[in-house]
Structure 1
Amino acid sequence: MEKAAEYSIWKNSQFRMLFSGALFCNLGGKVYELALPLLIYDITRSSEMMGWVRAVEFLPYIVLAAVIGAWIDRVDRRVWSQWMIIGQVACLLSGWLAIQWLPNPLWVLFPCAFFMMAFNFGYLNARMGMLKHILPTPLQSAATSSMGSLNSLFQALGPLLSGVIILFSSVHIIFLWIALFLFIAWCYLIRMPYEKEVFRVNGSIGQAIVEGYRILRANTPLYHMALAIAILNTSSAVFSLQSIYYAKNVLTMSAVDIGYMASAGGIGGILGSLLTVRLRNRFGLGKVMIVTMIIQALGYLFILFSHQALALVFAFFWVSFFEVITAILVYTYRQESVKTENLGKVMGITGTLFKIGLPFGLAASGYIVSGAGIGALFIACAVIQIAMGALCLLSPMAKVV
């Protein structure tokens, strides 16, 4: 039955077009994710500034996600997605021009980082809504897993992507290539056949946000998942960011070496995405999600036992393997348990909760590393996440199948 479901999604022409566009968006996003911290490090040589730029990237989830989610339930999601991609291209071109011509490009790079993430969230929200619209509920798990594997796929190509980056004398030139990848994704959306959804619009955006929160609170397992993911995302993002600083500043790893580190995480993510549906079918969604959250946190501690590049590479593999399983499970449950006409507003609220700790954790992480050391930071991340996982065993999410 599982194999039939996975095969059926590929027989759907709309899904194939949506997946193809997502492939190029993920390729551009992964290159951007790898290039931006390297660029900021080259400009500032500062772990604090690396933390601040990542913090700024996630601010849209706190200040805009709920509004974006409520708005998406009122518009043509395909057209909205096209505009979100155009917005990202504009940010990339602005960043490239700033680095090319301004003596201090950070004044432009920080706002661009903010809007890049805002437009990206708008695109992802609409894409999940389109996925819900074009496929029946039994296929949502396989479709979500397939979409989730894209990020891991390009992360696994880390050495290749980092090699492409260092081919250029200036890292920021890669912004133009990312813009090209996004334009190709935009072309796929133009060609995709899509029947416009018609929703009844009642009340203001503010009322829609309140309604989305009410729907989420009534869905107790999803609400508890959102709170747990808030902790997991913060710990994982802090680990990933400061690992790059540790790799560059302490282990003196090159951009290619960091690419191999990212590649290990990507391979772990691919393996995790392949096993997710099987693990859920055998043990139940809630139990698998809680166990993976706890086991993932152990990966933050690996560098305490060995200050070698290999330990950091294996830590990336371990963390990504379990993180992808957790992410696919929560996204799948949200797809299955929320009605199509409410998905945008609920995604907006959960999107805010998922990322609410990131700006504060990322901004503080650089100062913690400077003051107490990276070991203390990673221990704190592990302890908090394990404690959160233990509490989840007592929540209704543990009973979700």
Structure 2
Amino acid sequence: MLLLASGFVLALGGKLYELTLPLLLYDLTHSAVAMSAMRSIEFLPNLLLAVFIGVLVDRSRKKRWTILSVFFQIAVLAGLYLWTEKGPGASSLYACYIGGFLLMTFGYAYNNARVALVKQCLPAGLLAPANASYSFMTTLIGIGGPALTGLILSFSNLQDGLLLTAAAYIPALLLLSLLPADDRSPRPKPAGWSRELGEARRELMRNRALWQITLLVVFMNAASGMVDATVIFTAKDRLALSSGMLGLVLSAAGAGGLAGSLLLP
């Protein structure tokens, strides 16, 4: 329940950030290229660091890892807010790129550790219902989150969205600190970075289904990133929609996701 509650807060805050940063980039550049570049940079941690983060999470205390990941996201959001408050310019653009990369890196690290914590908290027979509950919760936020985000941004500066996201992450940090202590039973000595990375690569190449799923996810994420950037740019540049209306447009995508999750069984 603590993981589910903290995940709810993080997902809600994440929706605020996911709309704030593209709109901030649009205000800075009015460029579809800059917004698409931001989406590409956000995918780089998964592409370049995923296997290293996986090995590191395996070696670390999962509770500590989730707390540190959320803490660093708060720090990055606060730093990005302070930097962009200085006003538009090339430095603000690069700050958004660096901030987006770091936020996705720490977010990916948190998600890896959260999955491992679910396995520690529940018996194997309850893992599927637990993951289904988490997916339903994030999909539900996908419906209401963008509309609420758009409404909030309609009454505030775009930079305030970064600060509000950081503030939303603080309760999640407190909830994660209430988790039971990590299992401190003796663990086998790590085999070494090169050996563990080699095992991961061999498993990926050996397991055909895993390799096919990996390729599918890569292309789906790339396509999704292009669509997201295009929708937001078109809504602001061609249709001149307000932030509130844009939030409603993005909420339609969340409604489709909820319908898909209900029809899947």
| TM-score tier (shorter) | over 0.9
The answer to whether structure 1 residue 208 and structure 2 residue 208 are counterparts is no
Q: TM-score, normalised by structure 1?
A: 0.62
| Residue number in structure 2 paired with 1:267 | 255
The answer to whether structure 1 residue 258 and structure 2 residue 246 are counterparts is yes
Deviations 1:176-200 (A, max 9, x none): 1111111111111111224426542
Does the aligned pair in 2 maintain the 1:32–1:175 contact within 8 Å?
A: yes
The answer to whether structure 1 residue 135 and structure 2 residue 158 are counterparts is no
Query: Structure 1 136/274 Cα, relative in aligned 2: closer, same or farther at 3 Å?
Result: farther
The answer to whether structure 1 residue 73 and structure 2 residue 61 are counterparts is no
Q: C-alpha separation between the residues in 2 aligned to 1:194 and 1:215?
A: 31
Q: CA deviation at 1:131?
A: 1.3
Q: CA deviation at 1:107?
A: 2.6
Counterparts of 1:265-304 in structure 2, within 5 Å, are 265-276=253-264, 278=265
Match for 1:108: what amino acid? A
For the pair shown, the structure with the greater C-alpha radius of gyration is: 1
SS for the counterpart of 2:176 is helix
Q: Which runs of 5+ in 1 are unaligned?
A: 1-15, 279-401
Q: C-alpha separation between the residues in 1 aligned to 2:88 and 2:241?
A: 28
Does the aligned pair in 1 maintain the 2:154–2:242 contact within 8 Å?
A: no
Q: C-alpha separation between the residues in 2 aligned to 1:102 and 1:166?
A: 19
Match for 1:150: what amino acid? M
Provide the aligned length of Structure 1 versus Structure 2.
261
Does the aligned pair in 2 maintain the 1:71–1:205 contact within 8 Å?
A: no
Over the matched positions of the two proteins, sequence identity in percent amounts to 30
Q: CA deviation at 1:150?
A: 3.0
| Residue number in structure 1 paired with 2:42 | 57
Q: C-alpha separation between the residues in 2 aligned to 1:30 and 1:197?
A: 35
The answer to whether structure 1 residue 117 and structure 2 residue 104 are counterparts is yes
Q: C-alpha separation between the residues in 1 aligned to 2:217 and 2:61?
A: 29
Does the aligned pair in 2 maintain the 1:98–1:109 contact within 8 Å?
A: no
Query: Structure 1 141/219 Cα, relative in aligned 2: closer, same or farther at 3 Å?
Result: farther
Q: CA deviation at 1:154?
A: 2.0
Query: Structure 1 68/153 Cα, relative in aligned 2: closer, same or farther at 3 Å?
Result: same
Does the aligned pair in 1 maintain the 2:142–2:251 contact within 8 Å?
A: yes
Does the aligned pair in 1 maintain the 2:81–2:160 contact within 8 Å?
A: yes
Q: CA deviation at 1:147?
A: 1.6
| Residue number in structure 2 paired with 1:223 | 211
Query: Structure 1 162/183 Cα, relative in aligned 2: closer, same or farther at 3 Å?
Result: same
| Residue number in structure 1 paired with 2:2 | 17
Q: Give me the CA root mean square deviation.
A: 1.7
Q: CA deviation at 1:134?
A: 1.8
SS for the counterpart of 2:59 is coil
Deviations 1:337-382 (A, max 9, x none): xxxxxxxxxxxxxxxxxxxxxxxxxxxxxxxxxxxxxxxxxxxxxx
Match for 1:234: what amino acid? A
| Residue number in structure 2 paired with 1:285 | none
Runs (4 or more) in structure 1 with deviation over 6 Å come to none
Aligned pair partner of 2:152 in 164, 167, 179: 164
Deviations 1:64-84 (A, max 9, x none): 221111011011111011000
Q: TM-score, normalised by structure 2?
A: 0.92
| Residue number in structure 2 paired with 1:99 | 84
SS for the counterpart of 1:231 is helix
Does the aligned pair in 2 maintain the 1:152–1:265 contact within 8 Å?
A: no
Aligned pair partner of 1:244 in 216, 222, 232: 232
Structure with more relative contact order (C-alpha pairs < 8 Å, separation 6 or more): 2
Match for 2:65: what amino acid? W
